[in-house]
Amino acid sequence: MPTARPRAGLTCAALACLILVAGCERPVGCTGEYCGTMVIASGGEPDILLPPVSEFSITRDVTDQLFLKLADLGASGNTIGDEDFLPQLAQRWEWDTPTTLVFHLDPRARWQDGQAVTAADVAFTYDAYTDTLVNSSFRSSLRQIAAVTTRDSLTVVFRFRRRYPEMFYDAVYHQRILPAHLLREVPRDQWRSAAFGRAPVGDGPYRFVAWKAGESIELGADSTFFLGRPHLRRVIWRFTPDQQGAVTQLITGDADAVEVLVTPDNVQRARADSALATYPYKGAAYGYVGFNLAAPGDSTKPHPLFGDRDLRRALVMATDRERVLRNVFGDFAKVPPGPLSQLWWIWDPEIRELPYDSGQAARLLTRTGWTDSDGDGIRDKDGRPLAFRLLLPTTSAVRRQYARLLQEQFRIAGVEVQLDEVDFSLYNERARAGRFDALLNVWNTDPTPSSGFPQTWTPAGFGRSNYGRYDNPEVDRLVDQAVASAANRDQARRAWRAAVETLNRDAPGIFLFATSNVAAVHKRIADVTIRPDSWLALLRTWRIPADRLTDRDRVER
């Protein structure tokens, strides 16, 4: 048989390859409660793993596993007072005076290089966060703290400039405590490029293992973590170019979890997959059409269209926000009763706002002189058509969809809208410089309105986040009252409500959606609890029961 020999040779070679490959597979050995591995697909990658100098939420997700806060937000999400906060690095705290807060650190806390975490680390961290050389974005959030000093190696004292309801929140929420002994020698103006930021040493439940740029970050559980050993032995973030790519990795089984499924289609796909469980939670984002109240490029003059309050009110009333929202989000968002995210405790569907009323909108437009004099379907006044340009970023599929639906609704109302779709970088530049008529913007909010709201809707945000330069002294007064003077939560709530209702009457924007997020996690992972402001904040308690472990959970390196 002339062909038998080569075939036998081929078979032997293939068999040898298989044996070789099988022999080189990773050994599968880990058993018990602490063997799980979770792969998280993420649509972004951290820039640096050093909390003061990164603004990305993905950085926060990773560094929250590496670095502890003094205390963390509780499940209620209440940011007022200190009663709903949970101890982390600080074992306990007390108020020496109304403006002096004393933290007692947990003596068991250790940096992952073995050094004890001390009060000096806390003082060093505050100093770094507020140093202009470090140039942290969080510096402004700490402006009410006058000083942080040490009393002894485990006692640290925060002194505030004045008394206000969210003092404790400001003291603990923005800062992750950093190791002074490892960062002291790094020049402050070089923190954004510090080698520490690519291989950090922390004091959290997980320790840094590896970062492959553009690919993945791996953390390993710190089995000696003083607040309790994390159940998942390994957590790996896999990076994809966008969130849709992350969802694809989840659906194909290459990942175990994603933070947000983004579209109703994806939610359906995840729910149809028997291996996945979905977890709805409140979203931190709200989206709106913001009107520029100042002339584009010249903030001293009013905008030729949107300087007119009645015109703005008419456009709000001409918009069927509920219908557009159903088209884009299905059930996974709500029409907000003002510039509010669902995360905020001041969210209240009873807040009064302008109704959808196309008839009243038309009458108001006519009364203000905007009529269709030439019968072309577009209203005009003094020979000028009622037309404006809507600025939005090309990178947001949701906003592009919204823009087209709004364009059609406005057309029916006799208003012509041209879309200015630009990349995100240019969008930000033009928004900040006020070079737009109206923009379709989204804000991702902190857990409290106290910082974000004034920055966005009062003159404090001019040149920053108040892109449309909205200014009403009555709103400013009510916001000040809510943020700084409220004696209790009810009083603050009333002040917030009055501020939002006043703002709604001025119609500086059309508040379109407040997101409701849905995360998806593989069903073998149990005890999944999601805190809406930071979805992985409680990751330490997630686990994979021993009887649900797969080979990839058990694999050893």
By the rule CB under 8 A, 213 interacts with other proteins: yes
Could you say which residues in the range 105-144 bind other proteins, by CB under 8 A? 132, 135-137, 139-140
User: Would you say 33 or 55 has its CB closer to other proteins?
Assistant: 55
Strand, helix or coil at 33?
Answer: coil
By the rule CB under 8 A, 253 interacts with other proteins: yes
User: Would you say 88 or 243 has its CB closer to other proteins?
Assistant: 243
> Alpha carbon of 515 to those of 90, 306, 398, 512: distances in Å?
33, 27, 11, 10
Least separation, in Å, of the C-beta of 203 and other proteins?
Answer: 22
By the rule CB under 8 A, 44 interacts with other proteins: yes
- Kindly state the tokens that stand for 47: 């820039």
Of the candidates 151, 432, 485, 488, which one interacts with other proteins according to CB under 8 A?
432
Question: CB under 8 Å to 375, separation ≥6 — which residues?
Answer: none
| CA dist., res. 335 & res. 267, Å (int) | 20
User: Would you say 197 or 414 has its CB closer to other proteins?
Assistant: 197
- Kindly state the tokens that stand for 445: 């909010």
Least separation, in Å, of the C-beta of 378 and other proteins?
Answer: 29
Over the range 4-14, which residues count as b (16 or more CB within 10 Å of their CB) and which as e?
eeeeeeeeeee
- Kindly state the tokens that stand for 220: 């390993």
By the rule CB under 8 A, 25 interacts with other proteins: yes
By the rule CB under 8 A, 444 interacts with other proteins: yes
Amino acid residing at 112: Q
| Angle (nearest 5°) at CA 531 between 525 and 533 | 135
Question: CB under 8 Å to 19, separation ≥6 — which residues?
Answer: none
Could you say which residues in the range 369-408 bind other proteins, by CB under 8 A? 395
By the rule CB under 8 A, 488 interacts with other proteins: no
The footprint of other proteins on this chain (CB under 8 A) covers a number of residues equal to 62
| CA dist., res. 504 & res. 457, Å (int) | 11
| CA dist., res. 72 & res. 236, Å (int) | 23
- Kindly state the tokens that stand for 355: 């109704």
Of the candidates 231, 238, 313, 531, which one interacts with other proteins according to CB under 8 A?
238
By the rule CB under 8 A, 427 interacts with other proteins: yes
Of the candidates 254, 322, 374, 376, which one interacts with other proteins according to CB under 8 A?
254
- Kindly state the tokens that stand for 131: 């140093």
By the rule CB under 8 A, 218 interacts with other proteins: yes
- Kindly state the tokens that stand for 265: 């289609």
By the rule CB under 8 A, 236 interacts with other proteins: yes
User: Would you say 45 or 203 has its CB closer to other proteins?
Assistant: 45
Q: How crowded is residue 161: how many other Cβ atoms within 10 Å of its Cβ?
A: 12
Distance between terminal CA atoms of the chain?
47
Which region among 48-56, 305-313, 348-356, 507-515 touches other proteins (by CB under 8 A)? 48-56
| CA dist., res. 101 & res. 163, Å (int) | 11
Beta bridge partners of 159: 100, 147
Of the candidates 34, 56, 226, 356, which one interacts with other proteins according to CB under 8 A?
56
Which region among 55-63, 289-297, 311-319, 408-416 touches other proteins (by CB under 8 A)? 55-63
User: Would you say 466 or 472 has its CB closer to other proteins?
Assistant: 466
Of the candidates 35, 37, 145, 230, which one interacts with other proteins according to CB under 8 A?
37
Strand, helix or coil at 239?
Answer: strand
User: Would you say 408 or 429 has its CB closer to other proteins?
Assistant: 429
- Return residues touching other proteins (CB under 8 A): 20-22, 24-26, 37, 39, 44, 47-48, 53, 55-57, 132, 135-137, 139-140, 189, 192-193, 197-198, 210, 212-216, 218, 234, 236, 238-241, 245, 248-249, 251-254, 395, 422-430, 432, 444, 463-464, 552, 555
